[in-house]
Amino acid sequence: MLVVEGVPRPDGPDAQQIVLRIEGMSKTFGATRALVDVSFGLERGTIHALLGGNGSGKSTLIKILAGVQPADAGRIFVGDSEFDATSITPDVSREANLRFVHQQNSTFGALSVAENLHIGRGFETDAAGRIAWSRVRRRTQALLDRFQIHARPDQLVSELGRATQTMLAIARALQDQEDAHTGILVLDEPTSSLPAVEVDLLFDALRRYAAEGQTIMFVTHRFDEVLEIADRATMLRDGRFVATVARGEMTEDGLVELMVGRALARESGVAEATPTGEVVLTCEGLRGGALRDVSFSLRKGEILGIAGLLGSGRSTLLQTLFGLTRPEEGQMTLGGRPLAPETPRAAMRAGLAYVPEDRVQHGAFLELPVTDNIGLTVLGRYFRHGVFHHRAERADSRRVMSEFLVKASSERARFGSLSGGNQQKVILARWLRREPRILLLDEPTQGVDVGARMELYGLIREATMRGTSVIVVSSEFEELERLCERVLVLQRGRVTAEIRGDDLQADRLEQLVQGGTDR
pLDDT per residue as tens digits for the range 280-305: 999 999 999 899 999 999 999 999 99
Same domain, 59 and 199: yes
Residue 423 one-letter amino acid = Q
Per-residue pLDDT tens over the stretch 236-262: 988 999 999 999 999 988 888 888 776
Does 11 map to a domain?
A: no
Q: What is the mean pLDDT of residues 366-377?
A: 83
From residue 485, alpha-carbon distances to 53, 164, 448 in Å are 28, 36, 22
At 519, the pLDDT band (50, 70, 90 cuts) reads very low
Yes or no: say if 413 and 423 are a contact pair by the CB < 8 Å rule: no
Which pLDDT score is estimated for 179?
Answer: 58
Kindly tell me if the per-residue pLDDT of 276 is higher than 80. no
Q: Are residues 256 and 335 in the same domain?
A: no
Claim: this prediction has a pTM higher than 0.85: no
| DSSP label at residue 4 | B
Q: Are residues 482 and 427 in the same domain?
A: no
CB-based burial label for 126 (10 Å; 0-12, 13-18, 19+): exposed
The pLDDT > 70 percentage for the chain reads 89
**What pLDDT does residue 271 have?**
42
Q: Which helix (H) or strand (E) holds 402?
A: helix 390-403
Q: Note whether 46 and 103 are same-domain residues.
A: yes
Residue 408: predicted pLDDT: 84
Judge whether 1 lies within some domain: no
Q: What is the CB neighbour count within 10 angstroms for residue 384?
A: 9
d(CA 288, CA 303): 24
pLDDT of residue 1: 45
In a domain, 207, yes or no: yes
- pLDDT 10s digits, 64-102: 999 999 999 999 999 889 999 999 999 999 888 898 887
pLDDT at 13: 42
* pLDDT-wise least confident of 144-158, 374-388, 454-468: 374-388
**Domain span including residue 136:** 18-260
Q: Look at residue 475 and tell me if it is in a domain.
A: yes
Based on the fold, state whether residues 56 and 141 are members of the same structural domain: yes
With 60 as the cut, is the pLDDT of residue 2 above it? no
Contact criterion met (CB below 8 Å) for 234 and 51: yes
**Do the domain assignments include residue 7?**
no
Same domain, yes or no: 69 and 92: yes
Say yes or no: 241 and 255 in one domain: yes
Q: Among 260, 294, 324, identify where a domain stops.
A: 260
Domain boundary at 413, 435, 457, which? 435
- CATH number of the CATH domain containing 317: 3.40.50.300
Alpha carbon dihedral 111, 113, 117, 120, in 10-degree steps, equals: 0
* CB distance 300 to 275 below 8 Å: yes
Strand-strand pairing, 337-338 and 329-334: antiparallel
Residue 15 confidence (pLDDT): 46
**Looking at per-residue confidence, does 269 or 170 come out higher?**
170
Condensed to tens digits (0 to 9), the pLDDT of residues 505-515 reads 888 888 888 76
CB atoms within 10 A of CB 447: 17
Q: Are residues 95 and 244 in the same domain?
A: yes
Q: How far apart, in whole angstroms, are the C-alpha atoms of residue 27 and residue 9?
A: 23
Total domains, the chain: 3
Is 30 within the bounds of a domain? Answer: yes
In a domain, 135, yes or no: yes
Do residues 96 and 243 both lie within one domain?
A: yes
Indicate if 166 and 250 belong to the same structural domain: yes
Asked whether residue 10 is domain-assigned, the answer is no
Q: Which range, 24-38, 173-187, 440-454, is most confident? A: 24-38
Last residue of a domain, one of 435, 456, 485: 435
Domain co-membership, 149 together with 233: yes
Same domain assignment for residues 285 and 416: no
First to last CA, the chain: 41
